[in-house]
């Protein structure tokens, strides 16, 4: 069979999982090519918060919080779908911390374990921190190849200051809650950004890389140093099969279809299908609008469909990393709501004007509640995020930013923001019965002043309080909605990516319906059926498995035993 190009390993997709697979193979002498459909590399990982959920890390132990891997296994096993085999869960639990140590030693990616609670504290095996890891430091983009930086996926507006300025986790808190002296930190961040005049003349991109941008920048630096190659604007077209084995793929590059031989294997790391309207209508009946998704626009399931054509089995295609999303007209994706819902002086109500959940739940858990309630009466998508003037002055709501007058907000923000001098007036604009919303707000305000949400328990769990305002007592997530004017913004049921996909084994081999391996084919990240099933155990449950199974796929393909 004739090929136009031959490599050892072909990786499809440039997110964190794809970069890890390519990097590990290249560092062991492999001739590696990574192809990316879009003009920017980094995938959904590049738009994320950059956290990884890793049980049993050496960072957690060094911080005085050693983890028990059996506890972690028990925790995931209790949460994940029954059709996810124990062997897959065990492969993740046993290898995630090894991947993290490798990333530190071989790629200079040094994470820190955070006191960030697991999302299901009531489930045995959970921990109140030190499984979620973030990069604590800063990468100066001048340490990267300029072309690599210029073509890097940009972080989501929901994970940066004003949609432009990268920040550290600690800086996020300072900007959000504005403790004494906050202006020094924020002023310094803004001055550093705007005074980088050479970069401002070139682009809006911030050269101070933190969190996800720093993670992706460090992985890319190691990738380039190892000699791996990357093709942008080179969409995957099809797999090449010979005698039952995947031996390569067709990629459209520079206007031509190039047949690439992959001697050691093809790793699909191409993301989910969240931007494919047809597939969403078929599988994601709970949230079928692709425009609300926070996933990047190229995730249309191309590799998933092609692998299925070659006999690959699938699991849980109706699953996604569901999340409540703000949508700003004119933007190409939804904005994830993480922190806003836990901040005081706000509530979330359904289309009848009634609360239906603990607003401060982790975003996947809140979305799960939206799905459950939707199945009963279909009146929570969209819901309404209702807040008062105190909230408006202090905190953000998607693109509605504090300290910026209503008239100066972006055009998109103004289109979705409702405002009234009274709760009754706001209810009318929301098309809600005024007496219902007034009653809901009145009952909530009484609970907020007492510091105890007796209806839904908002603020009772450690995670609830994580994003509450520490200056508000006795419950940092509760504050009365009582100061006029009053506001409302629609909150939609969406996602940050799909996570049902190709069935894989503990080495990331793609499997057929009969459980046999399709030789030469691997899948990782959101194109593969997640080890987490329908659940989301903690912050970083997307990137953690993607990187871990990328690490394992490369080892299997290249015969790496260390």
Q: How would you write 102-136 as a 3-class SS string?
A: HHHHHHCCCCEECCCCCCCCCCCCCCCCCCEEECC
**Which residues make Cβ contacts (< 8 Å) with residue 185, sequence separation at least 6?**
171, 174, 175
Residue 162 CA to residue 211 CA, distance in Å, equals 16
Half-sphere exposure of 126 (CA within 13 A, CB side): 19
Residue 397 CA to residue 486 CA, distance in Å, equals 13
Query: pLDDT tens digits, the chain, 562 residues: what are they?
Result: 699 999 999 999 999 999 999 999 999 999 999 999 999 999 999 989 899 999 999 999 999 999 999 999 999 999 999 999 999 999 999 999 999 999 999 999 999 999 999 999 999 999 999 999 999 999 999 999 999 999 999 888 777 888 788 988 888 888 888 888 988 998 999 999 999 999 999 999 999 999 999 999 999 999 999 999 999 999 999 999 999 999 999 999 999 999 999 999 999 999 999 999 999 999 997 777 898 999 989 999 999 999 999 999 999 999 999 999 999 999 888 999 999 999 999 999 999 999 999 999 999 999 999 999 988 877 999 999 999 999 999 999 999 999 899 999 999 999 999 999 999 999 999 999 999 999 999 999 999 999 999 999 999 998 999 999 999 999 999 999 999 999 999 999 999 999 999 999 999 999 999 999 999 999 999 999 999 999 999 999 999 999 999 999 999 999 998 7
Residue 115 CA to residue 127 CA, distance in Å, equals 9
Cβ neighbours, 10 Å, residue 557: 28
Sequence spans of domains, the chain: 327-494
| Distances in whole angstroms, Cα of residue 231 to Cα of each of 37, 38, 216, 302, 492 | 9, 10, 16, 17, 36
Beta-strand (E) ranges in 339-400? 346-349, 383-387
Q: Angle, to 10 degrees, between the axis of helix 211-225 and the axis of helix 16-27?
A: 30
CATH number attached to the domain at 327-494: 3.90.700.10
pTM of the model: 0.95
Residue 438 CA to residue 84 CA, distance in Å, equals 46
β-pair partners for 410 = none
Sign of the dihedral through C-alpha 434, 440, 441, 442 = positive
């Amino acid at each position: 069979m004739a090929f136009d190009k031959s490599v050892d390993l072909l990786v499809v997709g440039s997110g964190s999982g794809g970069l890890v697979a390519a990097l590990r193979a290249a560092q062991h002498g492999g001739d590696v090519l990574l192809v990316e459909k879009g003009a920017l590399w980094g995938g959904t990982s590049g738009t994320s918060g950059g956290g990884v959920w890793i049980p049993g890390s050496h960072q957690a132990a060094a911080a005085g919080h050693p983890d028990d891997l059996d506890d972690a296994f028990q925790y995931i096993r209790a949460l994940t779908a029954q059709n996810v085999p124990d062997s897959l869960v065990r492969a993740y639990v046993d290898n995630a911390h090894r991947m993290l140590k490798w990333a530190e030693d071989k790629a200079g990616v040094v994470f820190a374990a955070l006191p960030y609670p697991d999302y299901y504290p009531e489930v045995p095996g959970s921990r109140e921190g030190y499984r979620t890891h973030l990069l604590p430091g800063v990468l100066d983009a001048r340490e990267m190849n300029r072309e690599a930086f210029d073509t890097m996926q940009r972080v989501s507006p929901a994970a940066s200051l004003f949609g432009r300025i990268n920040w550290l986790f600690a800086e996020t808190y300072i900007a959000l809650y504005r403790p004494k002296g906050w202006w020094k930190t924020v002023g310094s961040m803004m001055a550093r950004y705007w005074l980088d005049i050479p970069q401002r003349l070139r682009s809006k991109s911030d050269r101070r890389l933190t969190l996800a941008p720093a993670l992706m920048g460090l992985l890319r630096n190691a990738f380039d140093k190892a000699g791996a190659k990357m093709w942008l604007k080179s969409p995957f077209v099809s797999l090449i099969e010979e005698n039952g084995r995947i031996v390569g793929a067709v990629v459209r590059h520079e206007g031509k279809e190039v047949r690439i031989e992959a001697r050691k294997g093809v790793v699909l790391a191409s993301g989910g299908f969240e931007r494919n309207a047809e597939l969403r209508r078929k599988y994601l009946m709970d949230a079928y609008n692709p425009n609300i998704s926070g996933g990047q626009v190229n995730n249309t399931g191309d590799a998933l469909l092609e692998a299925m054509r070659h006999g690959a089995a699938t699991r849980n295609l109706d699953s996604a990393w569901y999340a409540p999303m703000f949508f700003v007209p004119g933007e190409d994706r939804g904005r994830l709501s993480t922190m806003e819902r836990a901040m005081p002086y706000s509530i979330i109500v359904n289309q009848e004007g009634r609360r239906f959940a603990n607003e401060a739940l982790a975003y996947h858990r809140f979305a799960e509640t939206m799905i459950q309630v939707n199945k009963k009466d279909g009146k929570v998508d969209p819901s309404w995020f209702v807040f008062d003037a105190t909230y408006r002055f202090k905190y953000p709501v998607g693109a509605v930013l504090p300290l910026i007058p209503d008239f100066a907000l972006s055009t998109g923000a103004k289109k979705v923001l409702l405002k009234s001098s009274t709760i009754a007036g706001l209810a009318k604009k929301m098309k809600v019965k005024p007496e219902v919303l007034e009653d809901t707000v009145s009952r909530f305000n009484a609970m907020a002043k007492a510091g105890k949400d007796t209806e839904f328990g908002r603020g009772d769990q450690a995670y609830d309080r994580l994003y509450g305002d520490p200056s508000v007592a006795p419950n940092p997530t509760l504050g009365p909605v009582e100061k006029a004017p009053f506001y409302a913004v629609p909150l939609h049921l969406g996602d940050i990516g799909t996570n049902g996909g190709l069935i894989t084994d503990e080495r990331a081999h793609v499997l057929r319906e009969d459980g046999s391996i399709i030789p030469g084919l691997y899948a990782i990240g959101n194109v593969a059926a997640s080890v987490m099933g329908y659940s989301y155990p903690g912050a970083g449950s997307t990137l953690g498995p993607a990187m871990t199974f990328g690490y394992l796929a490369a080892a299997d393909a290249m015969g790496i035993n260390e």
